[in-house]
């Protein structure tokens, strides 16, 4: 069979392009409602029509690229992209509620000489806003097939596929002259839009009302900070029950193995290695899903762009702009998508600065670490109405990362990546009710990735650590736990020379090494190390109680501070290398983060030791 026809899906940001791509291919693609959400290459074959392959290109307002992700769109369409072949046709997605603006881009695309089909999307929303468009007349005027679609309801999809196959066979529309300049195309687009629009519409009332509240100088800010605070409180409060259930399940399994298997190698690798290690991580799945749930909702409702607007002035104080807020907020879930989302920032210096500070945003993989230490050392009591002390400490840790990131940005902008501030221009999309299916698919995808990580990287490093932790075996008549004589004990002992001034014992020092594979492995590693040094106690009371007995409060605080600042996992460093095109900046990132982590921990540990 010959290779399928390649069709590029293009359009302005916020036209529902990714949703249409999803509906056509049945592929799971992240759908977000802020400009520049599509940063990865996504392709998929049309359902029931494998002869058409779609490629979802980043949303753009024109063919003059303004940012790295827009450059991808321009290169693919021009056939100059390094890996992508030139598409056979264009599927241009047009927002029916904003016709004149989107048509200007259609006129520009028409100059490429490729066959085009227009999806007049969100036609249901247009009807609700009492906008009436004569799509047949529009099709005649443009000489291009126009199909009315509602991506989320799968309306118009068979017709769309049919027209795509049709235009691929008959070829591009004949040339039409709409002028060379932007201004001329704007004029032509306005003329066509006015001709085919039967009724102007009343605008999106809900958006206007909501913006009056959500962008209010006082109420809007209170809502933004309340939202962020609620998000972090919920991470603790909502996750409690499912976490208890998972913990009980793992405990039950360990007990079952302890009772049925003979003492020895197999029991130890199962209970002390795999279940202690992987179990210590899997238990955080509910918290990570809650965090992602909030971020997905904020993205898909269109609120994220408002948050960027509210934050722009603060960001400009440190030399960035409000746009950087979006990748930075995504970094709370994971620094990797955050660093990649920085592609939508047009100014190269701003983009670099955003990448360098993204790891200071507390990613979800650090939640397990924070949770265990907070549960072990911070009393579970309330301070004021509905505010738990544990939640408050967690919030402060996040805040510490944010403040450090802002200071780092200001310093980097001033001394390292010198450059002028970028402009800030951002469309505030209409508010939309989040599509529950897309949110659930997004969560499912996160859960799958997390469990896959737990099943691969974390499982392997846990087993390797377990082996290093039991060999070599302790000499006869040893007075310390066996693990102290193992490779882990030896390596931990070396590292302790570096980390003793910040209060880390050899167990912690040893756990930091596998923690570079993935943040949460540090907790798994502590689980394994402590499980081996006193496995009976560990089985009965769990890691939280063990740590509470083994560490002093200054050590615990220092450990928390370490995780706020310390260089991130290897995947983050790898993605920073890819996105900055070399080793210079990732190495700089590791060095400066290590530096502030060590200094901050030293101050924390020494101050806490002196005071307590």
Partner 1 sequence: MNHLSNVVIPLGALLIGSRGKVTELSGDQHDLETSDRIDRLREIGFSEGLDVELLHQSPFGKDPIAVRIGAMTVALRRSEANLIKVQVI
What residue ranges bind partner 1 (CB under 8 A)?
61-62, 64, 66, 97-98, 100-101, 182-183, 186-187, 190, 201, 203, 207-208, 211, 215-218, 220-221, 305, 308-310, 312-314, 316, 322, 423-428
Tell me the C-alpha distance between 259 and 340, whole Å. Answer: 48
User: Least distance in Å: CB of 320 to partner 1?
Assistant: 13
Cβ closest to partner 1, residue 82 vs residue 423: 423
Tell me the C-alpha distance between 520 and 515, whole Å. Answer: 7
Cβ closest to partner 1, residue 99 vs residue 564: 99
Contacts 24+ apart (CB under 8 A), 305-309: 305/33, 305/34, 305/35, 305/426, 305/427, 305/428, 305/429, 306/211, 306/214, 306/215, 306/220, 306/428, 307/224, 308/34, 308/426, 309/215, 309/426, 309/428
User: Least distance in Å: CB of 193 to partner 1?
Assistant: 10
Cβ closest to partner 1, residue 42 vs residue 204: 204
Cβ closest to partner 1, residue 96 vs residue 465: 96
Instruction: Mark out the alpha helices in 322-388 (DSSP H runs).
Output: 325-330, 335-341, 348-357, 367-377
Any idea what the Cα angle at residue 566 is, between residues 564 and 569, rounded to 5°?
A: 105
Q: Residue 334: which residues within 8 A CB-CB, separation 6 or more?
A: 363, 364, 365
Cβ closest to partner 1, residue 62 vs residue 435: 62
Nearest to 339 by CA among 418, 326, 349: 326
Cβ closest to partner 1, residue 225 vs residue 471: 225
User: Least distance in Å: CB of 418 to partner 1?
Assistant: 17
Tell me the C-alpha distance between 250 and 279, whole Å. Answer: 6
Cβ closest to partner 1, residue 322 vs residue 434: 322
- Residue 11, H or E segment: strand 5-11
Cβ closest to partner 1, residue 85 vs residue 191: 191
User: Least distance in Å: CB of 62 to partner 1?
Assistant: 4
User: Least distance in Å: CB of 134 to partner 1?
Assistant: 17
User: Least distance in Å: CB of 95 to partner 1?
Assistant: 9
Tell me the C-alpha distance between 64 and 237, whole Å. Answer: 48
The strand pair at 131-133 and 146-148 is best described as: unpaired
User: Least distance in Å: CB of 349 to partner 1?
Assistant: 15
Tell me the C-alpha distance between 534 and 483, whole Å. Answer: 10
User: Least distance in Å: CB of 189 to partner 1?
Assistant: 9
């Amino acid at each position: 069979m010959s290779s399928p026809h390649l069709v590029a899906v293009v359009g302005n940001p916020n036209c529902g392009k990714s949703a249409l791509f999803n509906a056509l291919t049945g592929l799971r693609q992240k759908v977000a409602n802020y400009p520049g959400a599509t940063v990865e290459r996504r392709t998929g074959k049309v359902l029931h029509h494998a002869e058409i392959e779609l490629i979802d290109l980043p949303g753009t307002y024109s063919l003059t690229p303004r940012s790295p992700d827009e450059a991808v769109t321009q290169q693919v369409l021009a056939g100059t992209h390094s890996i992508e072949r030139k598409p056979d046709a264009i599927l241009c997605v047009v927002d029916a509620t904003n016709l004149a603006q989107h048509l200007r881009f259609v006129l520009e695309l028409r100059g490429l000489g490729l066959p085009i089909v227009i999806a007049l999307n969100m036609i249901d929303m247009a009807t609700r806003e009492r906008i009436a468009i004569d799509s047949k007349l529009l099709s005649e005027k443009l000489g291009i097939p126009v199909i009315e679609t509602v991506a989320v309801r799968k309306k118009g999809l068979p017709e769309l596929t049919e027209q795509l196959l049709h235009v691929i066979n008959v070829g591009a529309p004949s040339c039409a002259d709409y002028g060379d300049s932007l201004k001329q195309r704007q004029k032509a687009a306005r003329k066509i839009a006015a001709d085919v629009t039967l009724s102007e519409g009343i605008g999106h009332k809900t958006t206007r009302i909501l913006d009056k509240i959500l962008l209010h100088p006082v109420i809007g800010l209170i809502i933004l900070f309340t939202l962020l605070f609620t998000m972090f409180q919920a991470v603790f409060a909502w996750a409690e029950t499912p976490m208890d259930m998972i913990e009980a399940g793992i405990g039950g399994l360990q007990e079952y193995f302890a009772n049925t298997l003979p003492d020895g190698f197999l029991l130890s690798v199962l209970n002390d290695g795999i279940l202690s290690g992987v179990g210590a991580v899997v238990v955080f799945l509910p918290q990570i899903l809650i965090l992602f749930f909030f971020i997905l909702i904020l993205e898909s409702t269109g609120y994220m762009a408002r948050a960027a607007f509210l934050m722009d002035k603060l960001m400009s104080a440190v030399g960035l702009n409000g746009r950087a807020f979006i990748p930075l907020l995504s970094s709370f879930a994971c620094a990797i998508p955050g660093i990649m989302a920085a592609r939508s920032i047009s100014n190269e210096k701003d983009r670099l600065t955003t990448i360098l500070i993204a790891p200071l945003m507390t990613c979800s993989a650090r939640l397990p670490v924070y949770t265990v230490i907070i549960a072990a050392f911070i009393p579970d009591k309330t301070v004021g109405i509905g505010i738990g002390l544990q939640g408050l400490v967690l919030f402060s840790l996040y805040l510490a990362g944010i403040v450090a990131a802002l200071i780092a940005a200001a310093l980097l902008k001033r001394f390292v990546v010198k450059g002028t501030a970028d402009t800030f221009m951002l469309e505030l999309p209409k508010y939309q009710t989040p599509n529950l299916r897309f949110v659930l698919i997004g969560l499912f995808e996160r859960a799958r990735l997390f469990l896959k990580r737990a099943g691969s990287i974390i499982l392997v490093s846990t087993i390797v650590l377990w082996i290093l932790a039991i060999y070599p075996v302790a000499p006869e008549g040893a007075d310390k736990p066996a693990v102290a004589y193992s490779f882990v004990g030896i390596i931990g002992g070396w590292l302790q020379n570096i980390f003793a001034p910040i209060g880390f014992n050899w167990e912690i020092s040893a756990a930091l090494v596998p923690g570079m594979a993935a943040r949460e492995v540090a907790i798994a590693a502590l689980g394994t190390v402590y499980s081996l040094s006193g496995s009976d106690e560990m089985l009965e009371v769990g890691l939280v109680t063990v740590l509470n007995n083994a560490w002093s409060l200054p050590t615990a605080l220092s450990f928390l501070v370490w995780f706020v600042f310390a260089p991130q996992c290897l995947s983050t460093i790898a993605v920073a290398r890819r996105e900055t095109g070399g080793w210079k900046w990732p190495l700089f990132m590791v060095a400066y983060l290590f530096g502030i982590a060590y200094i901050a921990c030293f101050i924390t540990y020494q101050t806490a030791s002196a005071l307590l």
